Amino acid sequence: MSQKKKPILVAEGVSKFFGRMAAVKDLSFQVFEEEIYGIAGPNGAGKTTLFNIISHVLPVDNGQIMFKDKYIHKLSLDSIFRLGLARTFQIPALFKSLTVRQNVQVGATFGDPEKGVKMDKRDMENLIDETLDFTGLSAKRDIIAEELALMDRKLLMMASALVTKPMVLMLDEPIAGLGKVDSDQVMELIRNINKQGVTVLLIEHIMEALMGLSERVMIMHHGEKICEGKPDKVAKDESVIEAYLGEEYIRHKNQ
Ligand SMILES: Nc1ncnc2c1ncn2[C@@H]1O[C@H](COP(=O)(O)OP(=O)(O)O)[C@@H](O)[C@H]1O
Ligand SMILES: [Mg+2]
């Protein structure tokens, strides 16, 4: 990564509590323009909650979030989308009774209902078709979303986010649950999205995929950042190994 890259997304001391439990605890990090920033950590580490507070699915309790030099933690979900931040969900969230193409069409106007009116109809159609092509969904455009296999549901969620032309795309476990061939296809798609200049925040517990794609990785545990850096450094970090292997590891080490 070149020295000149600027931070595009900055979290400063963010916390989110569920009752008395801090799911995200005083967390700070920066994501630079056009990088793929990976996030991992054991189940329950707070990764999805972090996405939820950045994308305003949940309000943040403490701390600040900046996107493109603007504080966004007090903005509405719609206005964050309009600024250029889009996301997918760990459990594919789609309009089940709509076709693949209709889902992408809804995505195209999300957060900006006027866009459907403001944008030239043909430009809008082209944008939707290009997005279907880019994500490999063209042949399935008329299939009802409910009938799609997991891989295609994941692709469709990515298509619906991409059609908003985001500057930052947040992906919550886009690869988990897929077989080798599909994983490779999604990894290639993520690389292609990034090549177009889109900054990617990637939560993934499939380590091979995360480490292979990310320029830098943050490992979370109990809502906190326990390690951050280049994948090869993070993979060797003692605290990361411990967090993943838990008590089993510590018991062995002390024997
Ligand atoms: N809406 C919620 N209400 C209460 N507790 C939640 C909610 N969402 C997540 N949690 C809890 O917060 C912690 C972090 O969850 P999550 O962010 O989903 O972790 P991860 O994505 O890293 O597996 C877990 O203990 C989980 O049970
Ligand atoms: Mg999660």
Taking only the tens place, the pLDDT of each residue in 220-248 is: 999 999 999 999 999 889 988 888 776 55
Residue 69 has a pLDDT of 83
Smallest CA-to-CA distance from 106 within 116, 92, 91 is with 116
Mutate to test the pocket of ligand 1, among 15, 18, 89 (most ligand atoms within 8 A of CB): 18
**DSSP bridge partners of 24:** 16
Helix segments in 140-179, DSSP class H: 150-162
User: Measured from the CB, is residue 20 less than 6 Å from ligand 1?
Assistant: no
Question: For the chain, what are the domain ranges?
Answer: 7-254
pTM for the structure as a whole = 0.92
Q: Does domain 7-254 bear CATH number 3.90.580.10?
A: no
Residue 133: partners with Cβ closer than 8 Å, 6 or more residues away: none
| Phi and psi at residue 200, to the nearest 5° | -120, 130
DSSP reduced 3-state for 172 = strand
Give the position, in ligand 1's atom list, of the atom nearest the Cα of 45: 22
